[in-house]
Structure 1
């Protein structure tokens, strides 16, 4: 499985001949202009996870891609004819690649702010590895995850909860996402703590170059 972190929450997963883009949001632009995608997926409606301006352009540039968005986001983008993702939804992308939606709600930002939908995305390759992108929630812990995208920071985040989440998932490999609000020092603090306080081996993917994860 080859993964490229394209800034903040956006991740390109390449496996079994499939190219899957997750959370093309407006905190990054490295994904602008991508073509040859087999799927465009988004965990929830916040614009740092699906850019309402450039997201439709991306879809138009990849007419053969499966477009699957968290249900409330799909309702906001009717022109995309996207598949609405809810907990338990499964996508078969061919080549032994399956996507499963888990969870259902965004983490609590504040009790005065209504919660919205959020689906974590489990990408499984038959006979290969399993990748998990949780979006903005830590309350679902799928089993058998080999590579974990860990949100580094957000207005809903607390390091103690993230460490417990990483330990619960127990993936051998991990990297940080959702880091667009962090300074260099803040990023290093999160990276080092998560590395020191879990058994997951973290790699730095901020260079936006493909990284191949192996067993």
Structure 2
């Protein structure tokens, strides 16, 4: 399984001959919107840093055969051919299965209404990768690779470490980190490394990639 970051929460996963892109948002690198040969584009929720409404239509047009999956409210807003999925739904791409996980975005402030957030489990080549979107609320069993949201208005570092511990993946890498300055980044990452209980942590930069194989 090859994993490539494209800035903030945007992640390309390649496995079993399939290519799945998750959360191409406004903080993503420009290169993500030039990707082709995608088998699926998945959006966890409607916030701009996960969905760039101006540039995603061009991405969709360049990938006419891709399955387009989002939480139900975002899918309804975007319209066909986007399709809503909810916790437990599966989409079989042939060698790679996309399974929806979770339902609600983490609370930012009590005065801000909660919105839908549907994370995804990608299962292929004997591995399961979990991208939770913006929530620590769902911690599925059997996760091998975790895309770990590292910093957000809705999170604090104790919650980040607790989430990592509950999911207990073999491998983890950071996402949702454009909200952290480079000067302060090591503070967050050190807490995760020292207290999260995961040995294989990969501090991927905004346009770096890594490969993961079954243990």
Per the normalisation by structure 1, the TM-score is 0.95
Once the two structures are TM-superposed, the CA of residue 207 in structure 1 deviates from its matched residue by 5.3
Once the two structures are TM-superposed, the CA of residue 186 in structure 1 deviates from its matched residue by 2.4
1:68 alignment counterpart: 69
Describe the superposition over 1:6-58 as per-residue Cα deviations: whole angstroms up to 9, x where unpaired.
Answer: 10000000000000000000112230211010100010000110111101110
> Secondary structure of 1:107's partner?
coil
Matches within 5 A, 1:1-215: 1-28=1-28, 29-78=30-79, 80-95=80-95, 97-125=96-124, 127-200=125-198, 201-206=200-205, 208-214=207-213, 215=215
In the alignment, structure 2 segments of 5+ residues that lack a partner are none
Describe the superposition over 1:131-171 as per-residue Cα deviations: whole angstroms up to 9, x where unpaired.
Answer: 00000000111111111011011110111111111001000
> Secondary structure of 2:13's partner?
strand
Provide the C-alpha distance between the structure 2 equivalents of 1:207 and 1:110, rounded to a whole number of angstroms.
28
> Secondary structure of 1:208's partner?
coil
> Secondary structure of 2:155's partner?
coil
Given that 1:68 and 1:85 are in contact with CA atoms closer than 8 Å, whether structure 2 keeps it comes out as yes
> Secondary structure of 1:154's partner?
coil
More deviation, 164-173/178-187: 178-187
Q: Which 4+ runs in 1 deviate beyond 2 A? A: none
Per the normalisation by structure 2, the TM-score is 0.95
Provide the C-alpha distance between the structure 2 equivalents of 1:6 and 1:111, rounded to a whole number of angstroms.
31
Once the two structures are TM-superposed, the CA of residue 210 in structure 1 deviates from its matched residue by 2.5
> Secondary structure of 1:51's partner?
coil
Provide the C-alpha distance between the structure 2 equivalents of 1:81 and 1:146, rounded to a whole number of angstroms.
31
Provide the C-alpha distance between the structure 1 equivalents of 2:66 and 2:163, rounded to a whole number of angstroms.
32
Provide the C-alpha distance between the structure 2 equivalents of 1:140 and 1:5, rounded to a whole number of angstroms.
22
In the alignment, structure 1 segments of 5+ residues that lack a partner are none
Given that 1:152 and 1:187 are in contact with CA atoms closer than 8 Å, whether structure 2 keeps it comes out as no
More deviation, 164-173/29-38: 29-38
Once the two structures are TM-superposed, the CA of residue 81 in structure 1 deviates from its matched residue by 1.4
Provide the C-alpha distance between the structure 2 equivalents of 1:207 and 1:140, rounded to a whole number of angstroms.
25
